[in-house]
Structure 1
Amino acid sequence: MNTLIELLKCDQIYWLDNLTRGKITTGELKKRVDEQGLRGITSNPSIFNKAISNGQDYDGHITGLVKEGKNSLQIYDALTIKDVQDACDILNTVYDQSDGTDGFVSLEVPPYLARDTEGTMKIARRLFSAVGKQNCLIKIPGTKEGIPAIEQMLYEGININITLLFSVDRYVEVAQAYIRAIARRVAEGKPVNQVISVASVFISRIDVLTDQLIDQYIIPSRESKNASQTCLLSGRAGIATARLCYQRFKEIFNGESWKKLEEKGAHVQRPLWASTSNKDPLYNDLRYVVSLIGKETVNTLPDETIAAFANHGCIKKDSIEQEQGQANELFGELKKMDIDISFITQQLENEGIQKFTESYNKLIGNLADKRMKMLGDEASPQKISCGKLDTEVKEACALMDEKQTARLLFALDPHLWKKEPEQIKSISKRMEWLTLPDNFTKNTDAIIAFVQMIKAEGFKHVVVLGMGGSSLCSEVTRQTYALTNGYLQLWVLDNTDPAAILHIQSKIDLEKTLFIVASKSGNTEETLSFFHYFYQQLNNKNPAKPGNNFVAITDHDSPFVKVAEEFKFRKVFINPPNLGGRYSVLSDFGLVPMALIGIDINAILSSAKQMQSSCNGVPAASNPGISLGVVLGICQKNRRDKVTFILSHSITSFGYWVEQLLAESTGKERKGLIPIHGETLADPKFYGNDRVFIHLYLKDDNNDSDEKKIKAVEDAGHPVVRIKLANKMALGAEYYRWEIAVAIAGMVMGINPFNQPNVEESKKNTSQLLEGWSKEGNFKIPEPLLKIETISVYGGKETKQLATNHYKSAADLLNGFTEMAKPNDYIALLPYFMKTEPRTKVLQAWRHWMRDNLKIATTLLSGPRYLHSTGQLHKGGPDTGLYIILISEEEKELAIPEEKFGFATLHEAQTLGDFRSLDDKGRRVIRINLGKNIDEGLSKLFQAVKDGKHHLTQKLVM
């Protein structure tokens, strides 16, 4: 006797709970249908994940989908929908023969939607439509939030398999939801004969948890006379629940209200027994099959249970009708033991959602890993080594998945960072950067057409006038990519030093230069001053149409829109408003200058899109952006806050952009990630335990020397992240990766990574100083701590004590200042003059000398540029910095049209304003005036510092 076939004679059908492609392609599924009485099949992420991980059935399909540019979620969709469609075709004969009541294949909505009614309905509609087979069932969990979705989907004619039912009460609720949906359709004259639903009650899991609680009760009462009676309660709760559900099923679907619907062609919603493999080896392996045979029911079985039933199973017709009274009594006995079945079933529902979500995340993670391997270098692979922090990073990644971070991030949910209404409102206005790879792909044709027009008119140069996020991406572009023949040469002006302005002016033909005035807010003082200066220069040469040489990039409501109109700019690029400047590289701010020098901006965006696909919805451990952000955040929490960038030679300028992104985004609330860019790698003995190293390299560069040094610091226990780029176009992906990483690091750190609360402080101080200068004709500068020859040294409140040590030279005083550094501090060199190659060489040598002698990190930044980037970190971040502001005596003034002051005055005001801001914050800061000859003063000072090395060990300033 074929027990599987005999089961059908009892009016119970069985389904297989294991849908895989191998079962379809080998003919196994068809054979089971034709010869073994199989009447349905379900899919789930856990089974699917095993099939993908342990075999090659899906590799060819996955490869094709990767080549099509599909992300992991799209790949999962395509694979499962294909399997369900093929299985539906195999079971279609059963469906037809049963008049549409059997022969179904189930496909579930992602389990993370179990508490999301609207999200569930959206996905259910999409999946049912995508499969396009009437014998498809969409699986929706029977949670409180799922029930409204279930009713609405059934009303819309979508067949539903209701999952994760553990209680009789919840079963009744979903049965009533089914009836309401059918009644609504009947009331509106809609057909109901093709609307099918099953209600899946999960059996064995009820026993597992209930037995655990019973065991806790038995152990302390081993010697009591009730112990043996209590033992008899074990292993009964699951079957009892099914039997009580079945009784309610018969009551509900035999009532008068249902009979009226049945007359219209409605089919009963059959109970389905799920989770019917035996979990306890002490029990009979077929207990959840033999005991649950009943009319108009479904039993979903795994392969091993089907094989066991075929081998030694027995048919007990209507066995589910037995022991009904005992089922009710069981829960009464459990109640006497303070075992609350309501608590158990709610706990099982919560655990079920969690386990399903974990399986789903594991599946998506494995698909993401497969996708990355297939993409190879095209995906810019990332390798993370965390040393002692590895366990903490893994736990944080698991927490990210538990909070559904990847999904919520791409849903632009501001609650990931803060809970306060004002903060949420602010963050909501800064999230559009996540959509830029898609949105700006639509704009590239217009940008390219604009560039062609500019080329046709004979323009030779383009100068970006901007500060911070509006210009740093262009600085990367200028230094990284070669000029394409026929396109414009790019310059970036973000320095108010008259020498820097005149230097650029000497390099360009004014009348053949396009000036991009880049300012998100439209009121950046430096940018406005640059504009007025060059507009006047052009007006002196071509008073007819000077505005024809200007375009603006700004927000739609910024004051610069009116300025552009007033001065008759050639064009205004209106940038998306809901993104901050430092997150704007993949918008007009970055793309327009790129296109003007001949960069393929579609390739840049395609690279970014590839990274977007690698991050969207992908679990944290397999997510390049989120995992990097977790590493950075965990490192910061462990005081490894010096993010040290080792960039291969052809992409070193990327550091300027990522430096701002990190510092301005995370430097607040006395926390921060401190970017260390431009330090050459040293022996591990020169590093403290405050570092994390980032090796970002182009595969075609010679990276052998850096890799050996990186390996040494890794072996010394420092966290290391390696990112390999296939080519320079892959920087598009890096912009996107690092934006996500910094946003996630901010989440781990507990700060808002999208604001910059302290940036305005230096601006305010600068404005006040300029107002004072306008009235007095000079700045009121206090007496220096020390003045020797041409060099003067000024100190703040935290450094005035240096004057009491009676230093004989500026070098001695400077060495005394740097001796104030403690472990985990850093020293920032802040030159406020145009950096030239000789000056940079001296400054780099100086910072490396301090690193090697003091064993602390150093930064080298350019003023006033850094006021719009790392300046936020200096004031809002941790009090671990020592700031050395370097200035010179301005010899020549350069007038700013429509202002009382010139650039030299503005430049000096910015140095004084920044000094005042740092001093007001209690930071350790000194300001050194090198005199009129910058090169001579800088060289002499550094040489003297080195010569005075013995002071470092003889004198300690506290």
Structure 2
Amino acid sequence: MIQLLQTGILNESLIQIEWGEYTESVAAIHRYLEETNTEMTGWLNSPIENNVEMVKSIQRIANEIKMLADVLVVIGVGGSFLGAKAIQDALTPYFGDCANGIEVVYVGQNMSGAYIRQLLGSLEHKEIYVNVISKSGTTMEPALAFRVFRKYMEKRYGDEAHNRIIVTTDAEKGLLKKIAENSGYRQFVIPANIGGRYSVLTPVGLLPIAVAGVDIEKLLEGAKKAATLLKNENLEQNEAYRYAVIRHALYKKGYQVELLASFEPSLTKLHEWWRQLFGESEGKEKRGLFPATVSYSTDLHAIGQFIQDGNPIIFETLLHFKEILDDYQVPYDDRNDDQLNYLSNRSFNEINAISKQGTAMAHADGGVPIIQLELECLDAYHLGYLLYFFMKACAMSAYLLQVNPFDQPGVEGYKNKMLQLLQEENVYK
């Protein structure tokens, strides 16, 4: 499903892996992941288990929202919004809404007063539903946004507001769970054994994705295929583990930054989801690669010079889809005063693919190791596969570093400091 080309046409001397050194450790980590009932690994088998009733319930509520609303407002931060936004952006039109969906907007991922005010203004003449997503309900950004939108919905819709607010939260505990129960909001469950950055294939991601018009059954079908194929502990036959090993080998050689790159701007949020996944999973105990992202060809005109000739701390992972479902031909022009007729009747996607090939060759010539991940088509099925591929690779990568892939103590540090400062300010008022 994913063709991993760590050398391909590129300079083979840049990535040399002693695969035999990793065989036993990869197999041991695989068995630990698959056979041990570790605390936060519910995502491993959820695509295979395929909760049909959950999917039907999501589709039913999504259809209701699409019938009765113009906009779904999703409140969440981090893993509670990045996965859904990534799939929505990748699979819906750049301009306008998907034919099978409605507008989906996001709030609670920042604390900008300007963002909140302008979003509220944009909703004035539109019918809306709200989906608030938080396992605890105490994360500051979404909690503040929900306070605003809860009041807004009650003022605008009165007693009907509780039917237009959907809560995605823990099954049993937490502040948001208590609010939902007391207010009579309909609820979807965030599984207790799945952390936020691994939750895109749960109701956390699936409800907004379905409302946006994406086929969530196809998305889950692709993830199921990946979950099945990537159960193999054999390093030669598991592309997710091979990707993890290449990353680890380059880290041991002194590379500090992995640059995820693609040539399709609709994948920008997918890059951000990947960045959070690997950044929060690996960045502990003064270890881990720094995950950075670029969107080509735009960023070739921004940091291409540094990549080519700058400090050699970077390796690139190029993400490529062989088929993009929409395209445009370069027109012929009799004047040819721009001297571009030699490209007439070639498609933009064809030229973009050649740009990708040339970029990879140039960066390899400049001494940058290149990993290439190639999928057949940019569609729901293959994105479902890719999401699971990255999650499985990430878990392996973190364990190769001997860190826990499923906690984020550094994030808790910032939250605690912020709350302390806010409480001190309140005392002095």
Residue 429 of structure 1: SS of its match in structure 2? coil
Residue 639 of structure 1 pairs with residue 289 of structure 2 = no
Alpha-carbon distance in structure 1 between the residues aligned to 2:19 and 2:74: 43
Structure 2 unpaired stretches of 5+: 325-348
Alpha-carbon distance in structure 2 between the residues aligned to 1:439 and 1:770: 44
Which residue of the partner structure matches residue 410 of structure 1? Answer: 34
- Structure 2 CA distance for partners of 1:509 and 1:397, relative to 1, 3 Å: farther
Residue 438 of structure 1: SS of its match in structure 2? helix
Alpha-carbon distance in structure 2 between the residues aligned to 1:441 and 1:630: 32
- Structure 2 CA distance for partners of 1:409 and 1:760, relative to 1, 3 Å: closer
The root-mean-square deviation of aligned C-alpha atoms, in Å, is 2.1
Alpha-carbon distance in structure 2 between the residues aligned to 1:614 and 1:390: 25
Which residue of the partner structure matches residue 742 of structure 1? Answer: 394
Which residue of the partner structure matches residue 311 of structure 2? Answer: 688
- Structure 2 CA distance for partners of 1:396 and 1:657, relative to 1, 3 Å: farther
Instruction: Report deviation, 1:393.
Output: 4.5
In 2, are the aligned partners of 1:387 and 1:718 still within 8 Å (CA)?
Answer: no
The higher relative CO (CA closer than 8 Å, separation ≥ 6) is in 2
Within a 5 Å distance, the mapping from 1:437-448 to structure 2 comes to 437-442=47-52, 443-448=54-59
Aligned partner (choices 431, 453, 465) of residue 75 of structure 2: 465
Alpha-carbon distance in structure 2 between the residues aligned to 1:686 and 1:495: 35
Instruction: Give a deviation string over 1:795-836, Cα, whole Å, max 9, x none.
Output: xxxxxxxxxxxxxxxxxxxxxxxxxxxxxxxxxxxxxxxxxx
Give the alignment's TM-score, normalised by structure 2. Answer: 0.83
Alpha-carbon distance in structure 2 between the residues aligned to 1:770 and 1:694: 41
Which residue of the partner structure matches residue 236 of structure 2? Answer: 621
Aligned partner (choices 16, 23, 31) of residue 398 of structure 1: 23
Residue 519 of structure 1 pairs with residue 134 of structure 2 = yes
Instruction: Give a deviation string over 1:240-263, Cα, whole Å, max 9, x none.
Output: xxxxxxxxxxxxxxxxxxxxxxxx
Residue 544 of structure 1: SS of its match in structure 2? helix
Residue 382 of structure 1 pairs with residue 4 of structure 2 = yes
Instruction: Report deviation, 1:717.
Output: 3.4
Within a 5 Å distance, the mapping from 1:914-925 to structure 2 comes to none
Q: Read off the aligned partner of 1:670 and give its amino acid letter.
A: K
Instruction: Give a deviation string over 1:567-622, Cα, whole Å, max 9, x none.
Output: 221x1101211011001111111111111111110100111112122211241122
Instruction: Give a deviation string over 1:132-164, Cα, whole Å, max 9, x none.
Output: xxxxxxxxxxxxxxxxxxxxxxxxxxxxxxxxx
The structure whose Rg is larger is 1
Alpha-carbon distance in structure 2 between the residues aligned to 1:392 and 1:542: 61
Alpha-carbon distance in structure 2 between the residues aligned to 1:535 and 1:601: 28
Residue 523 of structure 1: SS of its match in structure 2? coil
Alpha-carbon distance in structure 1 between the residues aligned to 2:49 and 2:124: 35
Residue 668 of structure 1: SS of its match in structure 2? coil
Residue 753 of structure 1 pairs with residue 405 of structure 2 = yes
Which residue of the partner structure matches residue 344 of structure 2? Answer: none
Instruction: Report deviation, 1:698.
Output: 2.2
Instruction: Give a deviation string over 1:160-217, Cα, whole Å, max 9, x none.
Output: xxxxxxxxxxxxxxxxxxxxxxxxxxxxxxxxxxxxxxxxxxxxxxxxxxxxxxxxxx
Instruction: Report deviation, 1:706.
Output: 2.5
Alpha-carbon distance in structure 2 between the residues aligned to 1:732 and 1:596: 17
Which residue of the partner structure matches residue 434 of structure 1? Answer: 44
Q: Read off the aligned partner of 1:380 and give its amino acid letter.
A: I
Aligned partner (choices 90, 103, 106) of residue 489 of structure 1: 103
Give the alignment's TM-score, normalised by structure 1. Answer: 0.38
Alpha-carbon distance in structure 2 between the residues aligned to 1:554 and 1:717: 47
Alpha-carbon distance in structure 1 between the residues aligned to 2:5 and 2:123: 43
Alpha-carbon distance in structure 2 between the residues aligned to 1:393 and 1:548: 58
Which residue of the partner structure matches residue 63 of structure 2? Answer: 452
In 2, are the aligned partners of 1:554 and 1:560 still within 8 Å (CA)?
Answer: yes
- Structure 2 CA distance for partners of 1:599 and 1:478, relative to 1, 3 Å: closer
Instruction: Report deviation, 1:449.
Output: 1.7
Alpha-carbon distance in structure 2 between the residues aligned to 1:665 and 1:582: 9
Within a 5 Å distance, the mapping from 1:526-565 to structure 2 comes to 526-556=141-171, 557-565=173-181
Alpha-carbon distance in structure 1 between the residues aligned to 2:388 and 2:157: 42
Which residue of the partner structure matches residue 773 of structure 1? Answer: 425
Residue 213 of structure 2: SS of its match in structure 1? coil
Aligned partner (choices 209, 216, 226) of residue 594 of structure 1: 209
Instruction: Report deviation, 1:658.
Output: 0.3
Alpha-carbon distance in structure 2 between the residues aligned to 1:393 and 1:559: 50
Instruction: Report deviation, 1:438.
Output: 1.9
Residue 611 of structure 1 pairs with residue 234 of structure 2 = no
Residue 651 of structure 1 pairs with residue 280 of structure 2 = no
Give identity over the alignment, percent.
25
Which residue of the partner structure matches residue 704 of structure 1? Answer: 354
Instruction: Report deviation, 1:433.
Output: 0.9
Q: Read off the aligned partner of 1:621 and give its amino acid letter.
A: E
Which residue of the partner structure matches residue 136 of structure 1? Answer: none
Q: Read off the aligned partner of 1:487 and give its amino acid letter.
A: G
Q: Read off the aligned partner of 2:359 and give its amino acid letter.
A: K
Instruction: Report deviation, 1:630.
Output: 1.0
Residue 653 of structure 1: SS of its match in structure 2? helix
Alpha-carbon distance in structure 1 between the residues aligned to 2:71 and 2:81: 16
Which residue of the partner structure matches residue 378 of structure 2? Answer: 727
Residue 721 of structure 1: SS of its match in structure 2? strand
Instruction: Report deviation, 1:510.
Output: 7.4
Residue 6 of structure 2: SS of its match in structure 1? strand
Residue 668 of structure 1 pairs with residue 284 of structure 2 = yes
Q: Read off the aligned partner of 2:395 and give its amino acid letter.
A: A
Instruction: Report deviation, 1:430.
Output: 0.6
Alpha-carbon distance in structure 2 between the residues aligned to 1:623 and 1:688: 32
Within a 5 Å distance, the mapping from 1:218-617 to structure 2 comes to 379-385=1-7, 387-388=12-13, 390-400=15-25, 403-411=27-35, 413=36, 428-442=38-52, 443-456=54-67, 458-482=68-92, 483-485=97-99, 487-493=101-107, 494-509=109-124, 512-556=127-171, 557-569=173-185, 571-617=186-232
In 2, are the aligned partners of 1:620 and 1:626 still within 8 Å (CA)?
Answer: yes
Q: Read off the aligned partner of 1:659 and give its amino acid letter.
A: R
- Structure 2 CA distance for partners of 1:612 and 1:687, relative to 1, 3 Å: farther
Which residue of the partner structure matches residue 245 of structure 2? Answer: 630
In 2, are the aligned partners of 1:447 and 1:592 still within 8 Å (CA)?
Answer: yes
- Structure 2 CA distance for partners of 1:707 and 1:441, relative to 1, 3 Å: farther
Instruction: Report deviation, 1:388.
Output: 4.7
Q: Read off the aligned partner of 1:450 and give its amino acid letter.
A: I
- Structure 2 CA distance for partners of 1:459 and 1:399, relative to 1, 3 Å: same
Alpha-carbon distance in structure 2 between the residues aligned to 1:628 and 1:405: 15
In 1, are the aligned partners of 2:70 and 2:126 still within 8 Å (CA)?
Answer: no
Alpha-carbon distance in structure 1 between the residues aligned to 2:236 and 2:314: 22
Aligned length: 382
Instruction: Give a deviation string over 1:216-245, Cα, whole Å, max 9, x none.
Output: xxxxxxxxxxxxxxxxxxxxxxxxxxxxxx
Alpha-carbon distance in structure 2 between the residues aligned to 1:514 and 1:751: 40
In 1, are the aligned partners of 2:6 and 2:15 still within 8 Å (CA)?
Answer: no
- Structure 2 CA distance for partners of 1:524 and 1:510, relative to 1, 3 Å: farther
In 2, are the aligned partners of 1:547 and 1:567 still within 8 Å (CA)?
Answer: yes
Alpha-carbon distance in structure 1 between the residues aligned to 2:366 and 2:23: 27
- Structure 2 CA distance for partners of 1:609 and 1:481, relative to 1, 3 Å: same
Alpha-carbon distance in structure 2 between the residues aligned to 1:720 and 1:459: 45
In 1, are the aligned partners of 2:309 and 2:366 still within 8 Å (CA)?
Answer: no
After TM superposition, which residue ranges in structure 1, 4 or more long, deviate above 6 angstroms?
none
Instruction: Report deviation, 1:409.
Output: 3.0
In 1, are the aligned partners of 2:29 and 2:399 still within 8 Å (CA)?
Answer: no
- Structure 2 CA distance for partners of 1:388 and 1:486, relative to 1, 3 Å: closer
Within a 5 Å distance, the mapping from 1:865-876 to structure 2 comes to none
Instruction: Report deviation, 1:689.
Output: 2.4
Structure 1 unpaired stretches of 5+: 1-378, 415-427, 778-958
Q: Read off the aligned partner of 2:420 and give its amino acid letter.
A: Q
Instruction: Report deviation, 1:719.
Output: 2.2
In 2, are the aligned partners of 1:380 and 1:724 still within 8 Å (CA)?
Answer: yes
